[in-house]
Amino acid sequence: MIRILALGALWVCFVGPIQAVEPVKAGEADPVINEEMLLISAFDDIRENRMDNALSLLRQLTIKNPKFKLAHLIYADLLLAKTQALRVFGHLTSSSEEIEGMLEEARKRWTYHVVKPSTDLIPDQISSLDESVRHAVLVDLTTSRFYVFENQSGVPILVKDYYTSMGKQGARKYKRGDQRTPVGVYHITEYLPEKVLADRYGVGAFPINYPNYWDRRLGKTGGGIWLHGTSFATYSRPPKASDGCVTLSNENFKEVQPLLDIKKTPVVITSHPVNWISKEAWKARQDGMTALVEQWRLDWESMDPDRYLSHYSKDFNGSGKDYNGWVAHKRRVDARKKYIRVGLSDLYLTTYPGDEALMLQVRFKQDYKSDNFSSRSQKQQYWRLEEDGVWRIISEG
């Protein structure tokens, strides 16, 4: 009994405290209860020294999913603790890379449930969604979590979340081969089915458009960043295990696959803690960001170049021009016009994650008309909050 009690203390020491979860009783594992729910309940049993129930749950879990290496590891530790005192997890060696990876997976899965967001909260990184966008994805690399939001009348509502893995060297990819996962706002470029993939990609893959426009402006290189499954030999991978891709278990990937749309589903990847806010605060934030773009549109229509150009940063670079080139171009072109009308639709705004100053990415369809020219185009802007507290456009194209 002393050894078993010591294991509970050792577990808390290695993994950290957790709020109590609703326990799953041994022998009552329902088919709808997934692997993570069983694992978390077993962890809570260990914390509370309910070792017999933890053993039973872990045995059920290893039978339910024989490929879940972490479940096997903890199950073996509990059995071993009945015969000898444990000083490390994995009972083989604390320096084993594989053991350390599984222990980190345990930490990520467990501690996530301390800060698990309420479904009535919204991350401020996700914007209102156009009716053509069914879902949005947020990958939080700090908690190894993959969130899926459903578009409900323009409001992103959290409907699913999964444990996920990232690059072996962490976040903020900068160059080819650095084994880091990029941070930014992306979209899916295509779907690759299992039959065309190597085993390590699992049941499918969604390549994303890294490097995007902003990445290239920052000089970032590389490619081949995908959202994909896991090798068929295992259920899940440690938090840092890929060459830069975002990975899910094959079971989770199959759940996500029908929800994601090529070139429509936004994929936001962040390496900073997610700021979850109320729906009311989120709507107020959206209104404020939308007002920025609307004022830019009105000032463009005003034919007053000073009002229009006040929205552009001195660091502006876009459409092949720096700030001075852009100012000269707009003054010259607009001086020849009698009127300008600008219509915006399918507006999408999101806080752009990264280590740079606070930025917004803005995308929309633009209908432009003047007395001598008209066009319809897809436009993308990056707005930056500058030192004087004013949002200005730093790039546009």
Please report which confidence band the pLDDT of residue 28 belongs to, taking 50, 70 and 90 as the band edges. very low
Please say if the pLDDT value at position 372 is more than 50: yes
Greater confidence (11 vs 174) lies with: 174
Q: In which band, very low, low, confident or very high, does the pLDDT at 30 lie, cut at 50, 70 and 90?
A: very low
Coil, helix or strand for 50?
A: coil
Strand 192-193: give its sheet, edge to edge. Answer: 192-193, 204-207, 226-228, 246-247
pLDDT of residue 85: 65
Report the chain's mean pLDDT, rounded to a whole number: 87
**In which element (H, E) is residue 241 found?**
strand 240-242
Instruction: Report the candidate in 195, 188, 351, 171 with the shortest Cα–Cα distance to residue 256.
Output: 188
- Stretch 329-352: mean pLDDT: 91
Residue pLDDT, tens place only, 48-83: 878 889 889 999 999 999 999 999 988 888 887 777
Chain segment 279-321, per-residue pLDDT in tens: 999 999 999 999 999 999 999 999 999 999 999 999 999 888 9
**Spatial separation of the C-alpha atoms in residues 364 and 383, rounded to whole Å:** 14
164-194 pLDDT, tens digit each = 999 999 999 999 999 999 999 999 999 999 9
Question: Tell me, what's the pLDDT at 87?
Answer: 60
Judged against a pLDDT cut of 60, whether residue 1 lies above it is answered with no
**Three-state secondary structure string covering 314-372:** CCCEECCEEHHHHHHHHHHHHCCCCCEEEEEEEEEEEEECCCCCCEEEEEEEEEEEECC
336-365: average pLDDT: 87
Bond preceding residue 211 cis, omega within 30 of 0: yes
b/e code 67-105 from CB counts within 10 Å (16+ = b): bbbbbbbbbbbbeebeeeebeebbbeeeeeeebebbbbb
Residues 104, 165 contacting (CB under 8 angstroms): no
Hey, what domains does the chain have and what are their CATH numbers?
Answer: 2-112 (no CATH), 121-274 (2.40.440.10), 278-396 (3.10.450.50)
pLDDT at 197: 96
pLDDT score, position 2? 36
339: pLDDT strictly greater than 80: yes
Report the DSSP pairing between strands 321-322 and 340-352.
unpaired
Strands 226-228 and 246-247: parallel
The more confident residue out of 343 and 50 is 343
pTM attached to this predicted model: 0.88
Sign (positive or negative) of CA dihedral 225, 228, 231, 236: positive
Look up tokens 């890294």; give the residue: 210
135-147: pLDDT as tens digits: 999 999 999 999 9
Q: How confident is the model at residue 91 (pLDDT cuts 50, 70, 90)?
A: low
**pLDDT band at residue 89 using 50, 70 and 90 as cut-offs:** low
